[in-house]
């Protein structure tokens, strides 16, 4: 398809050049004939003054036509190239969006089906078999883990849908470090093996934020840092004041994000690598949601490398002006 459109474009350009050459040649022939006729008339000595005047007019007519052919040809050629370029750009965008949607559907199908299947199987085992108390607790824990995963996925899907359809932000003054501490506490319960080191620069880091949105933003950053660091991950969370901003940074020692992917990971449904080769589960919505929320809070999201290993995702949000 891509090569076909290139072929059509080249053909149309060549046809345009060919028509321009033909027109120019016709103009040349017409000019030569008119010139011969005029010379013939003036050689017969009918009216030498008006003969010279006619030759002048023929010259001007010829030049005007040549300029018109060249000018219109160039304008038409430029319009043609521009038109084809826009079509090609729109086509490429459509292809990228189709691939992303396909990847999203593949991952969402898997993400929704696998926890439900796991919960069903574990519940059936609990009902049908008499198990030791230890085993029973383990299976209940596994059900809780899967349903938590499902809950996170659904809340991200709903959040992304809401943000795409005119989400009404309710900004109110709040303490950023308190929101972060709340999310860390919840996450530590779900991931007891993960070491989360938090560092809060003061106890009055206030911002104007929408509660639901800011919690979703913090959760997405923290969950990503755990997800892409593997088991027994160590995460460093810092909240500091860098006037006029409050800055939250989440640093992990995980797989990192290659430089050429950093600008793309905030796109909707974008995931690094190929859906078949990817090890981790996800939908490509987390950083898209985070970026949208941070933009609505007039802040900025930046992604950098953690040295020697991992990623630092930082968000800056303007400090509250309401004292």
Which residues form the interface with ligand ADP (CB under 6 A)?
220, 224-225, 228, 252, 254-257, 265, 270-272, 282-288, 311
| Residue closer to ligand ADP (CB basis): 119 or 312 | 312
Question: Among the residues of 44-132, which ranges form H helices?
Answer: 48-128
Burial 32-63 (b: 16+ CB within 10 A, else e): eebeeebeeebeeeeeeeebeebeeebeeebe
- Minimum separation from the CB atom of position 136 to ligand ADP (A): 32
| Alpha-carbon gap, residue 129 to 269, rounded angstroms | 41
* In the complex, least distance from residue 293 CB atom to ligand ADP, rounded to whole angstroms: 12
Nearer to ligand ADP, 256 or 299 (CB): 256
Q: Which residue from 149, 121, 125 is spatially nearest to 136, judged by alpha carbons? A: 125
Closer CB to ligand ADP, residue 265 or residue 317?
A: 265
Please answer whether residues 69 and 26 qualify as being in contact, where contact means their C-beta atoms are separated by less than 8 angstroms. Answer: no
Q: Indicate the residue among 207 and 226 with the shorter CB distance to ligand ADP.
A: 226
Would you say 294 or 319 has its CB closer to ligand ADP? 294
Q: Least separation, in Å, of the C-beta of 115 and ligand ADP? A: 15
Identify which of residues 54 and 253 has a Cβ nearer to ligand ADP in the complex: 253
* Nearest distance from C-beta of residue 122 to ligand ADP, angstroms: 24
Query: Which one, of 271, 51, 297, lies nearest residue 163 by Cα?
Result: 297
Q: Among residues 176 and 257, whose Cβ is nearest to ligand ADP?
A: 257
Distance of CA 234 to the CA centre of its chain: 29
Shortest Å distance, C-beta 7 to ligand ADP? 37
Q: How far apart are the first and last CA of the chain?
A: 60
Three-class secondary structure assignment of 217-279: HHHHHHHHHHHCCCCCCEEEEEEEEECCEEEEEEECCCCCCCHHHHCCCCCCCCCCCCCCCCC
Minimum CB separation of residue 283 from ligand ADP in Å reads 5
CB of 1 to ligand ADP, least distance (A): 28
């Amino acid at each position: 398809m891509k090569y076909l459109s290139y072929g059509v474009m080249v053909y149309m350009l060549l046809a345009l050049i060919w028509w321009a050459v033909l027109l120019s040649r016709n103009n040349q022939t017409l000019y030569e004939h008119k010139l011969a006729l005029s010379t013939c008339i003036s050689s017969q000595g009918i009216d030498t003054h008006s003969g010279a005047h006619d030759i002048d007019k023929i010259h001007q007519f010829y030049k005007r036509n040549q300029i018109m052919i060249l000018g219109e040809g160039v304008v038409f050629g430029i319009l043609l190239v521009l038109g084809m370029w826009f079509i090609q750009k729109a086509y490429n965008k459509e292809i990228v969006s189709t691939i992303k949607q396909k990847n999203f559907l593949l991952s969402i199908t898997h993400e929704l089906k696998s926890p439900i299947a796991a919960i069903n199987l574990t519940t059936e085992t609990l009902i049908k078999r008499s198990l030791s108390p230890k085993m029973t607790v383990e299976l209940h824990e596994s059900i809780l883990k899967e349903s938590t995963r499902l809950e996170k996925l659904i809340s991200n899907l709903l959040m992304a849908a809401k943000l795409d359809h005119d989400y009404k932000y309710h900004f109110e003054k709040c303490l950023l470090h308190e929101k972060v501490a709340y999310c860390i506490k919840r996450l530590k319960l779900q991931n007891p093996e993960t070491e989360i080191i938090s560092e809060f620069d003061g106890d009055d880091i206030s911002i104007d934020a929408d509660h639901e949105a800011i919690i979703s933003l913090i959760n997405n950053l923290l969950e990503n840092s755990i997800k892409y660091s593997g088991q027994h991950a160590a995460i460093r969370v810092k909240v500091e004041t860098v006037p006029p901003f409050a800055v939250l940074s989440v640093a992990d020692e995980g797989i990192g994000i290659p430089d050429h992917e950093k600008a793309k990971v905030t796109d909707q449904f974008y995931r690094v690598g190929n859906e078949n080769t990817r090890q981790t589960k996800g939908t490509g919505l987390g950083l898209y949601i985070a970026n949208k929320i941070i933009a609505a809070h007039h802040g900025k999201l930046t992604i950098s490398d953690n040295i020697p290993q991992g990623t630092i995702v930082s968000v800056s949000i303007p400090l509250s002006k309401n004292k």
